[in-house]
Structure 1
Amino acid sequence: MAPRKGGARSATTEPETTAVTPLDTARRASLDVIGHDIEFATFRRAAASGRLHHAWLLTGPEGIGKAPLAFRMARSLLNAEDPTTPAARQITAGSHPDLLAIGRTFDEKRQKFRNEIVADEIRPINAFMHRTAAEGGWRVVIIDTAEAMNRNAANALLKVLEEPPARAILLLTCATPGMLLPTIRSRVRSLPVAPLSNAEIHAVLTRTAPETSPEELARVVPLAQGSPGRAMTLLADTGGTIDAIAHEAIKGMTTARMLNVADAIGRSDTGFDLFFTLLGSAMVQTTRGIPPPDLSRSVKLAEAWEKVMTIRKQTEQFNLDKQEAMIEAMSVAGTAHA
């Protein structure tokens, strides 16, 4: 079962769920964000100028902390930066009347988060942004993982962007902005979010996973690539066993080896997700390490990465055999790098 969610929450913000969602985690983390000071200062300067753009797109690799930064930006507009104030507590609890947060929802039946954000989740934004702010100030909408919007949801958002009301702002987070409609990208101000430094990653892990041994910290921090999310994934892979397998798969495996790996990883409840997360990350890392003259290899690996992500998505969506999916993914990765 998914862990139970604590705290009160407004019925106007998110659908009922018993899972601790990425939005829940981001709300709490936004009270004391580690890093991203330059990006936040850019936003604060724009707000102080009186010419704050009505929509911002926070871009950067998955897991680097874009959602906590978005909530920190929301707190600054809603006078909720002091954690002892009622407004700050409302944001942490998900019940602030002038903040609407949208992200991928949890499917209780399948016990996992849905892959898409649908139009019915986006349409309430228009009414929310046009109503009078309860505190007489701003109305803020956060859309986390905006690339997860399907076509109908994206079109619904576009209508909001075309006629934005005064003192209402949209904050979108996105790891792959190329997946958004060009018409959406043209109507937002882009704010690239940089990866954290190794020292900042160390500070995040010390806070969020205080039980981690110094040896594991020393292993994970250099491999995190500035992403707290990736760092937590690497910590879940104790000793780096699956990460090593992912890099081995890219170099190529025999059929017998792939069968043994899939069997071993498949015995764990979390093995499938961890394997695909680390394999995808290893493929991206390998692609970036290919010299520029060797463009054909980079293209092949990039195409293979898309195939691997599709295998994962379809396996989850249609409840296909997970061991067969891992074998197919390893084969695709190894063939592309050959």
Structure 2
Amino acid sequence: MARAPAPMDLPEPDQLEGFAHPRETELLYGHADAEEALRTAFMSGRLHHAWLVTGPAGIGKATLAYRFARFLLKYSDPRIAEAANVKTLHLPPEDAVFRRVAARGHANVLTLRKPWNDKTKKFMTVLSVDEVRRTHDFFGMKAGEGGWRICIVDTADDMNASAANALLKVLEEPPAQTVFFVLANHPGRLLPTIRSRCRQLALKPLPHDQLMAAVQGHLGHMADGDMEAVAKLAQGSVGRALQLAGGGGIELYREVSGLIAALPKPDVPAIHALAEKLARRGNDQAYSMFRDLLSDWLVRLVRSGALPPGSDDEVIAGEGQVMARLAAGTSLDRWVEVWENTGRTADRAEALNLDRKQVILGTFAALEAAARG
């Protein structure tokens, strides 16, 4: 009988393929203000029990949360940190606390996220109430190693209504020496009562120089054209930039853009070839990237049609003309409708575990119909 996979054997929903998980990441690019806000709150002795960390996916929310968790577990008391004269939240990878958190071996850190379904070999579509109820055991006993206990919700966007209400109850009656990091890409969707019980840290998109420093730090030098394309498509998100640069995202963007440029006369064999490739088992990241890139392309199309000519920089040469042609041939309302409907269809297909190839083919059919006006 095959053994059940150990926790360390399972995939992780918040890890980019080929890159370290946020809890294993030493460096945090940008967000110095947010880091200092946490350090100052701790050093003052008035650390709030719950922090709502917001910003686009891949911006560094989880990296910041684990960074502060390590700092808190290392120093535990402001007087210890003051004696050590620490000025940042940084711990080196060789530190014992860093190693234990990275290995998921510290009893005082709990991460809540979408669980893995071993039957479907996929992650659940929601962060369920059963996951949130793990806090009962975590907080119901004496701290396993003394000191602070840290709970990271990654991400709160994934919670269903029951899970959100269960989390709210814990936030309303927090145990002593506990800190929650509630990570959210779309905080406006959370219960107002959850937001009101948290101090908010909004992480802003990184400026161009910091974003490029992060990409080069992870991947080294890139061709100038690819670097600029990454910078424009990443929208200030390190995670998104690394995914694009290290996961074939630029090549995929050029392929998708080329197929759209041919509309309303679709290259049917090429579309089928792309759909076959992205629908293969193990291509989850590429499929997700396709969805994000296409959604962004449509948003930029609508924006280009609503703004004066030249207001939106091209990612690749010639796409501005394609966008102008498509925007002129069909109403912008129709393109907004395509953007909304294709996104909803893809979400529904994922929830029902439907064929991704058919989703992609249906998406290009909707694009073709809109392009024909």
TM-score (norm 2): 0.74
SS of the residue 2:74 aligns to: coil
Residue from 178, 182, 195 that aligns with 1:185: 195
CA separation in 2, counterparts of 1:185 and 1:299? 33
Any conservation in 2 of the 1:247–1:279 contact (CA below 8 Å)? no
CA separation in 2, counterparts of 1:178 and 1:332? 30
Instruction: Give the equivalent residue in structure 1 for 2:14.
Output: 22
CA separation in 1, counterparts of 2:333 and 2:165? 31
Q: Are residue 105 (structure 1) and residue 115 (structure 2) matched?
A: yes
CA separation in 1, counterparts of 2:258 and 2:39? 42
Largest Rg, 1 or 2: 2
CA separation in 2, counterparts of 1:38 and 1:333? 42
Any conservation in 2 of the 1:60–1:194 contact (CA below 8 Å)? yes
CA separation in 2, counterparts of 1:253 and 1:163? 57
- Of all paired residues, the percent bearing the same amino acid is 34
Instruction: Give the equivalent residue in structure 1 for 2:253.
Output: 242
> What is the CA deviation profile of residues 82-114 of structure 1, one whole-angstrom value per residue up to 9, with x for unaligned ones?
433322211111111111112223334434333
Residue from 343, 350, 362 that aligns with 1:309: 343
Q: Are residue 38 (structure 1) and residue 39 (structure 2) matched?
A: no
Q: Are residue 66 (structure 1) and residue 64 (structure 2) matched?
A: no
> What is the CA deviation profile of residues 155-198 of structure 1, one whole-angstrom value per residue up to 9, with x for unaligned ones?
11111011111211110111111221222122211110011122
Residue from 273, 276, 282 that aligns with 1:267: 276
Q: Are residue 95 (structure 1) and residue 105 (structure 2) matched?
A: yes
Change in 2 beyond 3 A, CA 1:211/1:304: same
CA separation in 1, counterparts of 2:136 and 2:338? 39
Instruction: Report the Cα offset of residue 119 of structure 1.
Output: 0.9
Change in 2 beyond 3 A, CA 1:37/1:332: farther
Amino acid across the alignment from 1:104 = K
SS of the residue 1:104 aligns to: coil
Q: How many residues are treated as equivalent by the alignment?
A: 320
Q: Which runs of 5+ in 2 are unaligned?
A: 76-90, 309-330
Any conservation in 2 of the 1:259–1:327 contact (CA below 8 Å)? no
Q: Are residue 318 (structure 1) and residue 364 (structure 2) matched?
A: no
- Root mean square deviation, CA, Å: 3.2
Change in 2 beyond 3 A, CA 1:197/1:317: same
CA separation in 1, counterparts of 2:201 and 2:258? 32
Change in 2 beyond 3 A, CA 1:263/1:85: same
SS of the residue 2:193 aligns to: helix
SS of the residue 1:33 aligns to: coil
TM-score (norm 1): 0.81
CA separation in 1, counterparts of 2:121 and 2:292? 18
Residue from 148, 154, 177 that aligns with 1:144: 154
Change in 2 beyond 3 A, CA 1:233/1:332: farther
Mean Cα deviation higher: 208-217 or 322-331: 208-217
Instruction: Give the equivalent residue in structure 1 for 2:213.
Output: 203
Any conservation in 1 of the 2:266–2:368 contact (CA below 8 Å)? no
